[in-house]
């Protein structure tokens, strides 16, 4: 029997099957290893390894307050995966010393590091929990509420390094007139503030600025208030539970910000109308740097956006009737259409380079 060859790839069905099986096995392995990383973070195992240096299983178990046999299995798995090191694998289990490689702290332990990726594990965990609801949503066309995912902490943690380390230091200075206006003080609003890291960064970077953050999710607002208190800016940052698409939301602000949230909204045009109503100044939208148009296969960033859209952003955005159903990949022309429908006469993509985000400026 002669095998059919895929003319577009010059691969036989058997080769396609082998490559696909290998890729999916690696993906499944990655998901399992993410779970072990999340476990290590929550149990404080990485923290103890970082602070103590090389240590035996018994020493690590005692320091972290976990049972020795579980600690052994975790250490061996982490070393086998190349996530931690072992001094001599041939030694007896109780004699081996395990260590966290230098540099790993930025990825696993420093929530403000650009390399910090621990929040991704929270999303992986949430997908497993929400899968039955996702399946039902795909069949019915309904949505899955944001609160059901339980990813408030993961979402805030994922964006925190960029907001804390780049928003005021790099991104806003690239818009000189806005940067200067914020430096003079005044009041700004943030729509969809989440855990508050962007609003807190604005307040810390511009000492004369007052920031009001609005979000419909009560746990996110509660977390934002705690974060502002700990950051020492609670006197200038206010967080309010409010639907940003509600015509009753009012205010008078010098500028309005919306960070990585427009694509999640069932009614983005209404939210942009709110923004236009409460400011005579610019509205700054920061959202995913989706490609200008669909293409396949895609690069890793676009693949990440699409996976997030299938599993989270599109289902969340379909929880209300007559949803725009935008999804994570809100391409520039889509937002341009939303802005025009909301009454904005000026739409610009700002010249700010970033691998993950695109920056827009809307004005009446």
Query: What CATH number has the domain bearing residue 21?
Result: 1.10.10.10
Is residue 124 predicted with pLDDT exceeding 50?
yes
User: How far is the C-alpha of 328 from the C-alpha of 317, rounded, in Å?
Assistant: 10
Same domain, 29 and 75: yes
Q: How many domains does the chain have?
A: 2
Same domain, 195 and 254: yes
Task: Please name which of 313, 286, 274 lies closest in space to residue 201, comparing C-alpha atoms.
Answer: 286
Same domain, 144 and 49: no
**Whether the predicted pLDDT of 9 surpasses 70:** no
Q: Note whether residue 6 is domain-resident.
A: no
Q: Indicate whether 111 belongs to any domain.
A: no
Q: Label the pairing between strands 186-191 and 255-259.
A: parallel
* Residue 339 and residue 211 in one domain: yes
Asked whether residue 358 is assigned to any structural domain, the reply reads yes
Looking at 75, 104, 133, the residue that finishes a domain is 104
Whole-Å CA distances, 331 to 138, 215, 294: 23, 23, 9
Q: Which of 239, 223, 216, 219 is nearest to 316 (CA)?
A: 216
List the CATH number of the domain containing 341. Answer: 3.40.50.150
**Residue 290 reports pLDDT greater than 90:** yes
Strands (E), the chain: 85-86, 98-99, 186-191, 209-215, 237-241, 255-259, 283-288, 346-349, 357-363
Mean pLDDT of the chain: 96
The torsion angle over the Cα atoms of residues 335, 119, 198 and 274, rounded to 10 degrees, is 40
Residue with tokens 């007896």: 92
In this prediction, residue 6 has a pLDDT band, given cuts at 50, 70 and 90, of: low
What pLDDT score does 10 carry?
84
Question: Averaged over 267-287, what is the pLDDT?
Answer: 98
Residues 122 and 270 occupy one common structural domain: yes
Cis peptide before 322 (omega within 30 of 0): no
68 CB neighbour count, 10 Å cutoff: 16
| Segment 309-312 long-range contacts (CB within 8 Å, at least 24 positions apart) | 311/123, 311/127, 311/130, 311/134, 312/123, 312/126, 312/127, 312/149, 312/151
Residue 8 lies in a domain: no
pLDDT above 90: residue 1 = no
In whole angstroms, what is the distance from residue 229 CA to residue 248 CA? 28
Q: Which two tokens stand for residue 326?
A: 């935008």
- For the whole model, what pTM was predicted? 0.93
* Interval 28-63: pLDDT, tens: 999 999 999 999 999 999 999 999 999 999 999 999
Domain end call among 104, 136, 153: 104
- The better pLDDT of the pair 9, 324 is held by 324
| 2, pLDDT greater than 80 | no
- Which domain covers residue 297, as residue numbers? 118-363
**Does 3 score more than 90 pLDDT?**
no
Using the predicted structure, report yes or no on whether residue 312 has a pLDDT greater than 90.
Answer: yes
Let me know whether 210 and 306 are in one domain: yes
Asked whether residue 186 falls in the same domain as residue 54, the answer is no
The verdict on residue 5 lying in a domain is: no
Same domain membership, residue 203 and residue 304: yes
Residue 360: strand pairing partners: 285, 349
> Quick check: is 2 in a domain?
no
Same domain membership, residue 198 and residue 83? no
**pLDDT on residue 87:** 97
**Domain end position, chosen among 104, 130, 154:** 104
Whether residue 208 sits in one domain with residue 63 = no
Is 112 a domain residue? no
Residues 269 and 146 in one domain: yes
Average pLDDT over residues 252-277: 98
| 147 in the same domain as 38 | no
Rounded percentage of the chain residues whose pLDDT exceeds 90? 97
Q: Which residues are CB-contacts of 288 (< 8 A; sequence separation ≥ 6)?
A: 260, 263, 305, 328, 329, 330, 356, 357, 358
For residue 109, tell me if it sits in a domain.
no
């Amino acid at each position: 029997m002669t095998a059919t060859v895929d003319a577009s790839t010059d691969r036989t069905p058997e080769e396609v099957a082998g490559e696909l099986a290998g890729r999916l096995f690696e993906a499944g392995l990655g998901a399992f290893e993410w779970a072990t990383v999340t476990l290590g973070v929550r149990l404080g195992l990485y923290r103890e390894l970082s602070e103590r240096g090389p240590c035996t299983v018994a020493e690590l178990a005692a320091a972290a307050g976990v049972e020795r046999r579980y600690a052994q299995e975790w250490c061996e798995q982490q070393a086998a995966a190349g996530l931690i090191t072992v001094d001599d694998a041939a030694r007896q289990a109780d004699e081996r010393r395990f260590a966290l490689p230098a540099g790993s702290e930025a990825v696993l332990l420093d929530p403000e590091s650009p390399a910090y990726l621990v929040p991704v594990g929270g999303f992986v965990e949430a997908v497993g929990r929400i899968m039955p609801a996702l399946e039902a949503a795909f069949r019915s066309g309904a949505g899955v509420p944001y609160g059901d995912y339980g990813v408030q902490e993961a979402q805030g943690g994922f964006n925190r390094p960029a907001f804390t380390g780049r928003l005021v230091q790099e991104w806003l200075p690239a818009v000189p007139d806005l940067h200067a206006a914020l430096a003079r003080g005044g009041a700004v609003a943030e729509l969809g503030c989440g855990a508050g890291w962007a609003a807190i960064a604005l307040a810390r970077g511009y000492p004369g600025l007052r920031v009001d953050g609005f979000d419909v999710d009560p746990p996110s607002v509660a977390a934002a208030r705690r974060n502002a208190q700990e950051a020492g800016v609670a006197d200038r940052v206010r967080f309010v539970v409010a639907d940003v698409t509600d015509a009753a939301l009012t205010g008078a602000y010098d500028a309005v910000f919306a960070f990585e949230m427009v694509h999640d909204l069932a009614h983005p045009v209404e939210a942009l109308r709110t923004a236009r109503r409460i400011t005579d100044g610019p509205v700054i939208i920061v959202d995913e740097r989706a490609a200008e148009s669909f293409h396949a296969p895609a690069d890793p960033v676009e693949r990440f956006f699409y996976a997030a859209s299938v599993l989270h952003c599109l289902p969340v955005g379909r929880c209300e009737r007559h949803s725009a159903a935008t999804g994570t990949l809100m391409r520039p022309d889509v937002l341009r259409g939303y802005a025009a429908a909301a009454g904005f006469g000026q739409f610009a993509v700002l010249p700010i380079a970033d691998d993950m985000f695109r920056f827009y400026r809307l004005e009446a």
